[in-house]
Structure 1
Amino acid sequence: MKFLDWYVKIAVGAFLVGGSMEFFMIKTGFYEKVTILESEKRTWENSLEAQAMREALNPWRNHDAEAKKNP
């Protein structure tokens, strides 16, 4: 292959950049912070307040389902 050395250099460079990004995220505690934020988001989305807000913002969401039930 004519350009094999070029592809190997690009692959090695990409591997080094990706590895250094992962190392940085591990050292700064990025994954722990994201896990906590996602947990808080899911907890809030399942709360009664969030459900009431969704219903208030889109009252027609279940209108079609109710219309099919009551012909």
Structure 2
Amino acid sequence: MPFVVPDVWHDDRFVTHPAVRFYAGHPVETPDGIRIGALCVTDPHPRGADSVDLVLLRELALSVQRELAATVAPGVAA
């Protein structure tokens, strides 16, 4: 599920990121479902959630997950 914050200056979770105003991200997970990061888009200006193709963001995050899974040898814990 994507996470979008149109203006991070109005969200306490982003208080340590003063240069970022817009954030959209989709989680990246290991094959067993552990979240290890996010593929994200940021902008120094606030934007509407509709300014990002969230379907494409999801597809790119899933592509990263597939690439990570392919680099782990069978039988080896991720």
User: Is TM more than 0.5 here?
Assistant: no
Higher helix share: 1
The answer to which structure, 1 or 2, has the higher relative contact order (CA under 8 A, 6+ apart) is: 2
Structure index of larger Rg: 1
Give the TM-score of the pair, scaled to structure 2.
0.29
Higher strand share: 2
